């Protein structure tokens, strides 16, 4: 038992130390990403000019844009479908509780964990050099991303099925195949549609930037207009993209909600049986049709596949002969990416704490404030950070600052959205219990709601950190700092041995950060 005085002084000391530590960290990161208010202020007129010129969208351009948006959508839909469908059977192999062989599942999980650290744009860049420029490479890259994402979601779901649930099917005398068919699959098929939409939401955003590396979609057009300084055209593209993404997010939300509550009504046993037979014929048939459709629409000749296979093999073989002498460039790039990510996470985190108060419907001072805040947040998180970086690029010039600012804005948007949802779904009367002491709403948030949900917030923040690290590795593609610059250059020059080293470095860093963040998450709980 310590005395009250000790407790108070200790607590104060802790708080001051914590604050100083955060400040120093932020300052160091700021130095690292070459943060300078002067440059931002000096860049403001340029950025304002950019926005002014963007204020007059070229509406006659819409037809062309629509065509490319359709292509982008096609890439996103095809790749998401392919990925999710492939992930279902593979997840049965990788989930450790039902896998036929523990070692196979461990090995597969290791390989996939490595693949998961490679961002979609890098996949696309690699595939473009194998299968040449065009949407096939982009679709394949996103299909890989979709597959890995869906696989993780499915695997986590299967591993969350408790042993007794499996046992209850085993105890009727079912074989292990029947356990899969009747205990695991029914829930998974329903889940597959939601997973598809989750993956789709990510992929539609990634698909808009694939063009930066020549892998099809609207990105190519955007890049061209930007370089030709056609800001009126750019504005048209951005507006239409915004509308498209907003529409898809809404559709996805509605679909997922509908599925969660879907249960049709049946008249009698006969009707029900018919329905079931219909379903068990229809679902496999539908899947087959979709598969055939996908393969046809990709319109890829065997010849090209063969050439691609040869080149791909060459590439992978050379990558495996890692060129370790290239490490100074690797360390420099990785460190910069790391700084960008940490800077963005801290800035985004601090802003999100504040913004969430205004955005959460149950805390916000007014309905209108909450609505306005939510609108702002949605704009901030609609575009992939790399597009935002292009805008900052015009203002503050090349280098990590543009990337750091862009990523900060994106992080603020996503984190505020997620955290304000946590606040809105909070159970109990935490807020009320502080309000009844005569405190203001903000005090109730600061001293009641926030400490209560702090573990949740940290967990979200750490997830953002993980995602930011991945994002920070591709910002370099447009020259906004980090390892991406070295990566794209070496991919373009086909220095596969060096690419091998860079990818390895990125992977190791990401896996380490994920581990660390997992560890912290457990601690905070």
Partner 1 sequence: MLKVENLQVIYDNKTLALDDVSLTVAPGEFVGIIGSSGSGKSTLLKCMNLLVRPTRGKVHLEERDLMSLNSQSLRKVRREIGFIFQDYNLIDRSTVIDNVLIGRLSYKTPFQSLFRIFSQEDYVRAEKALSYVALEEKMYERADRLSGGQKQRVAIAKTLCQRPKVMLADEPVASLDQATAHLIMEYFRRANLKKNITILINLHDVALAKAYCSRIVGLKKGKVVYDGKAGDLTDDILKRLYE
For partner 1, the binding residues (CB under 8 A) are: 162, 164-165, 167-175, 177-178, 181-183, 186-187, 190, 263-266, 269, 272-273, 276, 280
Least spacing, CB of residue 449 vs partner 1, in Å: 30
Nearer to partner 1, 193 or 504 (CB): 193
Q: Please state, in angstroms and as integers, the Cα–Cα distance from residue 360 to each residue in 50, 140, 277, following that order.
A: 32, 39, 46
Least spacing, CB of residue 264 vs partner 1, in Å: 8
The per-residue DSSP string of 159-179 comes to HHS-HHHHHHHHTTT--HHHH
Nearer to partner 1, 172 or 302 (CB): 172
The per-residue DSSP string of 17-37 comes to HHHHHHHHHHHHHHHHTT--H
Nearer to partner 1, 26 or 259 (CB): 259
Least spacing, CB of residue 188 vs partner 1, in Å: 9
Helix (H) or strand (E) holding 303: helix 302-320
Least spacing, CB of residue 293 vs partner 1, in Å: 24
Least spacing, CB of residue 285 vs partner 1, in Å: 13
Contact 195, 154 (CB under 8 A): yes
Least spacing, CB of residue 191 vs partner 1, in Å: 8
Nearer to partner 1, 190 or 293 (CB): 190
Least spacing, CB of residue 201 vs partner 1, in Å: 22
Nearer to partner 1, 262 or 367 (CB): 262
Q: Please state, in angstroms and as integers, the Cα–Cα distance from residue 134 to each residue in 140, 216, 307, 475, 477, following that order.
A: 11, 5, 15, 21, 18
Nearest in space to 248 (alpha carbons), one of 458, 464, 76:
76
Nearest in space to 315 (alpha carbons), one of 86, 498, 515, 90:
498
Contact 136, 214 (CB under 8 A): no
Half-sphere exposure of 346 (CA within 13 A, CB side): 17
Nearer to partner 1, 247 or 272 (CB): 272
Retrieve residue 450's tokens. 């926030």
Nearer to partner 1, 173 or 438 (CB): 173
First-residue to last-residue Cα distance in the chain: 24
Nearer to partner 1, 36 or 165 (CB): 165
Q: Which residues of 469-500 are buried (b: 16+ CB within 10 A; e: fewer)?
A: bbbbbbbbbbbbbbbbbbbbbbbeeebbbbbb
Least spacing, CB of residue 198 vs partner 1, in Å: 17
């Amino acid at each position: 038992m310590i005395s009250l005085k000790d407790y108070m002084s200790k607590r104060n000391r802790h708080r001051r130390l914590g604050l100083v530590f955060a400040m120093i960290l932020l300052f160091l990161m700021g130095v690292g990403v070459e943060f300078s208010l002067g440059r931002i202020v000096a860049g403001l007129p340029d950025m304002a000019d950019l926005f002014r010129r963007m204020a007059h969208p070229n509406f006659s351009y819409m037809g062309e844009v629509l065509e490319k948006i359709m292509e982008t959508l096609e890439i996103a839909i095809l790749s998401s479908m392919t990925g999710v469908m492939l992930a279902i059977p593979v997840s049965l192999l990788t989930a450790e509780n039902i896998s036929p062989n523990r070692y196979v599942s461990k090995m597969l999980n290791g390989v996939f964990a490595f693949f998961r650290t490679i961002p979609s744009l890098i996949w696309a860049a690699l595939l473009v050099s194998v299968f040449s420029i065009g949407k096939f490479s982009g679709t394949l890259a996103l299909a890989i991303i979709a597959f890995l994402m869906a696989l993780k979601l499915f695997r986590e779901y299967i591993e969350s099925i408790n042993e007794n649930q499996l046992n209850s099917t085993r105890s009727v005398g079912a074989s292990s195949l029947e356990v899969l068919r009747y205990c695991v699959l029914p829930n998974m098929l329903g889940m597959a549609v939601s997973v598809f939409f989750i993956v789709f939401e990510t992929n539609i955003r990634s698909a808009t930037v694939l063009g930066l590396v020549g892998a099809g979609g609207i990105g190519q057009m955007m890049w061209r207009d930007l370089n030709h300084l056609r800001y009126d055209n750019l504005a048209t593209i951005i507006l239409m993209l915004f509308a498209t993404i907003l529409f898809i997010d809404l559709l996805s939300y509605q679909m997922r909600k509908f599925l969660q509550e879907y249960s049709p009504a049946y008249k009698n046993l006969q009707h029900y049986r018919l329905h079931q037979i219909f379903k068990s014929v229809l679902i496999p048939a539908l899947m087959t049709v979709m598969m055939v459709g996908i393969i046809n629409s990709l319109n890829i000749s065997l010849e090209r596949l063969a050439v691609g296979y040869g080149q791909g093999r060459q590439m992978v073989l050379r990558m495996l002969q890692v060129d370790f002498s290239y490490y100074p460039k690797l360390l420099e790039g990785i460190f910069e990416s790391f700084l960008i990510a940490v800077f963005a996470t801290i800035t985004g985190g601090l802003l999100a704490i504040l913004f969430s108060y205004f955005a959460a419907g149950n805390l916000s001072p007014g309905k209108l404030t909450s609505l306005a805040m939510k609108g702002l947040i949605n704009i901030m998180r609609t575009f992939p950070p790399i597009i935002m970086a292009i805008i900052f690029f015009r203002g503050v010039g090349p280098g990590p600052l543009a990337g750091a600012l862009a990523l900060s804005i994106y992080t603020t948007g996503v984190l505020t959205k997620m955290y304000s949802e946590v606040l809105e779904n909070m159970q109990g009367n935490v807020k009320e219990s502080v309000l009844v002491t005569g405190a203001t709403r903000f005090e109730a948030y600061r001293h009641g709601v926030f400490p209560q949900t702090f573990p949740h917030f940290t967990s979200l923040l750490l997830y953002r950190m993980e995602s930011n690290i991945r994002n920070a590795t591709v910002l370099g593609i447009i020259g906004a700092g980090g390892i991406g610059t070295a990566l794209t250059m070496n991919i373009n020059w086909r220095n596969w041995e060096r690419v091998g080293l860079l990818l390895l470095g990125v992977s190791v860093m990401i896996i380490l950060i994920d581990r660390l963040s997992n560890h912290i998450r457990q601690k905070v709980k």
